[in-house]
Structure 1
Amino acid sequence: MTSADAAPASRPIVRDVLRMLGGTASGITQLPATVVAVVTTPRAPASRVLDALAARLTGVDGIPRRTPPPARRTRGLLALSALLQLVVLCILLLIAAGLVVGVQMLAAATTGGPVDLFSARPGRVTWATVGLFVVPGLVLLFLALSGLGGIAWLERRTWDAFQRPGAGELSQEVVRLHTTLDEVVDAVDAERRRIERDIHDGVQQRVVALSILLARVERSGAVDGAPLLRTARDETQHILDDLRDVAWRTYPEMLQRDGLAAALEALRDRVAMPVHLDVDPTPITDRAAETAAYFVASEAVTNAIKHAQATSITIGVRTDAGLLTVAIEDDGVGGADASGTGLSGIASRVAARDGRLSVHSPAGGPTVIEAVIPCA
């Protein structure tokens, strides 16, 4: 490798080292706010200090830190960060003192003047004296800069250590995921059983009735068969309606084709009760989140019609900061059971998407069901 090739390669290294040292040294500007956050630990200031710390560490190594440590670890992280920033302040003060001493000695050696810091009289500090201090001074400067580099490494490792979940948290998360998976499987099985029951008790019975009507038409002859044919046509229409209902409860094709807003409009049109929609027009690209939101709305509407004795329903959909929020409110009698089959099923569906479902249904109403679902 030629010297021309080595020069460009060394520039990024020098730049990274300077960025690391500068980012670590700038941490002393955050020391007062960090100390205040450690002592008081109010949520808002601590959050802002954490954001500033994450931004500074990202500036040091270029690695984004978008997810802060858990709230219960905030005080510990900020306390260690304040301690490291205090050490940085001491190192910088030592470097500054060394520079002051060096400048005074150079000035004294050049002009023959005194060094007030050492109480040295004029002419006592010569170039030989300066030479004796050069090597120890350079060694101390190297150690100070190495200390800044070590603190930069410690700050990053501290952040990672406090952000990383512990063994107990991982065990709890595994248990939660297993429980959620079991609940999702149970919800899917319950939905399948409901579809089978709807087909058996609804569509199948209508098909049997239709076959009986057609047999009677066949036996009655052309003259007396007209009323029976009209009844058969009506029964056929009922069968088609039941099949559409089953299909919509299974998975509405419009949701996949036209999106959540169109699917909710179709749901509103299929319900005899007044349903008011307030849907954010922001497009949603996460189909899984849309699907979960739709089934939350569908189940909530079904519960309101069957159990709440409601006269109107309001469905609101909002997207903000990567979260899809769907809220369903009815003016019924309240008392909805969050542990019931329908609501627990959609709660499991929402939990499978790392979302949360809340049910507020006091006696006398109103009932408000809200799901907050992360979406890409």
Structure 2
Amino acid sequence: MRSPTPASAGLSNRSAVGQVGRVAVGTVAGIVLVPVLLVALAAAPIEPAGTVAGWIGRRLTWIDGVPRTVLPHGGRRFGLLAVFALLGVLTACIVALIVLGMVVSTQMTIAAITGGPVILFEADPGRVTWSTLAIFAVPGLVLLFLAVSGIAGIAWLERQTWKAFTRPGVEELAQEVNRLHTTLDDVVAAVDTERRRIERDIHDGVQQRVVALSILLARAERASDPQDRVQLHRRSREEAQQILDDLRDVAWRTYPAMLARDGLAAALEALRDRTSIPVRLDVEHDRIPDHAVETAAYFVASEAVTNVVKHANSQRIDIRSRLEGDRLIVTVSDDGVGGANPEGPGLSGIASRVAARGGRLLIDSPVGGPTKIEAEIPCG
């Protein structure tokens, strides 16, 4: 094992000192929030508690670098503020004792050097000597150690308090389990629907063309006229090419290889080029690292475009994909007749796909149009 170099050891030591400094400064800074916490607790109907809880989360994040974006809800939020207010008051008391100790030690040291009085103790000049200072040094250092340990303990309590109050309760966990069960059932149903659609496409499209191709080849084998045989072979080649095109369409609708290879923007461009209705595409982001998010977004756009082509009698389709914070938003709108059914197999399937990623699907399709379908999908 390689031993650390002096340079790396120095950097590590500086990093450790810096972290200790952050803990101390960040914990003591909690004193400033005490009046705000008390106001937030007293003004519960106005509900400034969410904003103040966010400040606490950002302060703790500054201390240890751990993001804290999930805030407690309801009574948990006010419990968090109450505990942090108590910890802030306790921190203020410890800081006050440290300051008082520093004032006392400074006056005693000056008195020992100059032989002057100690105003805080009303000690006469010459009463405080170096021996007196030595007697008080040991208990002073013990008290300083206890005070610093108290600051460190409060810093630890703050982090544990945040974890305790932001941890989901039993009811929230039960709701999440129910949501996951529902989403799982919807996803399974959507997968079964997709399988039936693929089977139908193959049966009604590819299979029928294969049967037609076999008939043409059989006729070509039986044809006695060379010209008829050439004509049948030509038609067979055309039919074989059409079968290949149909198979590519089925594969593309099942999962486009371009999506995995080149990303969402390229797949949406290919979708635009394959659509018979004019499509205006606006992608306002680079490739997204989360492949599952890109997949969900693509199938939202693909299924929405398919519905427009089949049912909307539209003249134009607009597709927009953008990032807002940590969410990818895909919007598909058209100028068709409207009346899209959210319970239909297509839209319900993509709604389940989006819900499985923790997102939501919004459908606005009044009778007479226009139609707007918007999916919000969390990234990461």
- TM-score interval, smaller chain: 0.7 to 0.9
Q: 1:373 offset after TM fit, Å?
A: 2.6
Matched AA of 1:50: I
Q: 1:327 offset after TM fit, Å?
A: 1.2
Partner of 1:338: 342
- When the two chains are superposed, the root-mean-square deviation of aligned CA atoms in Å is 3.5
**Is this contact kept in 1: 2:335–2:371, CA < 8 A?**
yes
Residues 1:69 and 2:71 aligned together: yes
**SS in structure 1 opposite 2:330?**
strand
- 1:134-283 alignment to 2 at 5 Å? 134-216=137-219, 221-222=224-225, 235-280=239-284, 282-283=286-287
**Is this contact kept in 2: 1:274–1:311, CA < 8 A?**
yes
* Alpha-carbon distance in 2 for matches of 1:244, 1:292: 21
Tell me which of 328, 331, 336 is aligned to 1:327.
Answer: 331
List runs of 5+ in structure 1 lacking aligned partners: none
Distance change >3 Å, CA 105–CA 285, structure 1 → 2? closer
Distance change >3 Å, CA 205–CA 94, structure 1 → 2? same
1:120-161 per-residue CA deviation (whole Å, 9 max, x = no partner) reads 363484437656654554443333223212211211111222
**SS in structure 2 opposite 1:326?**
strand
Which 10-residue stretch deviates more, 296-305 or 214-223?
214-223
Q: 1:47 offset after TM fit, Å?
A: 6.3
- 1:74-153 alignment to 2 at 5 Å? 74-108=77-111, 113-118=116-121, 120=122, 122-123=124-125, 125-127=127-129, 133-153=136-156
Partner of 1:27: 30
**Is this contact kept in 2: 1:108–1:122, CA < 8 A?**
no
| TM-score calculated relative to the size of structure 1 | 0.81
Q: 1:357 offset after TM fit, Å?
A: 2.2
1:191-222 per-residue CA deviation (whole Å, 9 max, x = no partner) reads 11111111112222233334344545555642
* Alpha-carbon distance in 1 for matches of 2:212, 2:153: 83
1:32-74 per-residue CA deviation (whole Å, 9 max, x = no partner) reads 555555545448843651343223431xxxx523443345444
List runs of 5+ in structure 2 lacking aligned partners: 1-5
* Alpha-carbon distance in 2 for matches of 1:152, 1:250: 53
**Is this contact kept in 1: 2:299–2:350, CA < 8 A?**
yes
Distance change >3 Å, CA 325–CA 18, structure 1 → 2? closer
- 1:277-356 alignment to 2 at 5 Å? 277-280=281-284, 282-356=286-360
* Alpha-carbon distance in 2 for matches of 1:11, 1:257: 44
**Is this contact kept in 1: 2:285–2:321, CA < 8 A?**
no
* Alpha-carbon distance in 2 for matches of 1:44, 1:157: 19
| TM-score calculated relative to the size of structure 2 | 0.81
Identity of aligned residues (%): 59
**SS in structure 1 opposite 2:373?**
strand
* Alpha-carbon distance in 1 for matches of 2:267, 2:15: 54
Matched AA of 1:373: I
**SS in structure 2 opposite 1:65?**
coil
Matched AA of 1:262: A
* Alpha-carbon distance in 1 for matches of 2:14, 2:133: 32
1:235-269 per-residue CA deviation (whole Å, 9 max, x = no partner) reads 44543333222111111222223332222222222
Matched AA of 2:309: I
* Alpha-carbon distance in 2 for matches of 1:95, 1:149: 14
Partner of 2:63: 57
Partner of 2:3: none
Partner of 1:46: 52
Q: 1:75 offset after TM fit, Å?
A: 3.9
Distance change >3 Å, CA 332–CA 70, structure 1 → 2? farther
* Alpha-carbon distance in 2 for matches of 1:258, 1:134: 70
**Is this contact kept in 2: 1:70–1:163, CA < 8 A?**
yes
* Alpha-carbon distance in 2 for matches of 1:298, 1:11: 54
Q: 1:230 offset after TM fit, Å?
A: 6.3
Matched AA of 1:252: P
Matched AA of 1:306: K
* Alpha-carbon distance in 2 for matches of 1:369, 1:355: 13
Distance change >3 Å, CA 311–CA 108, structure 1 → 2? same
Q: 1:173 offset after TM fit, Å?
A: 2.7
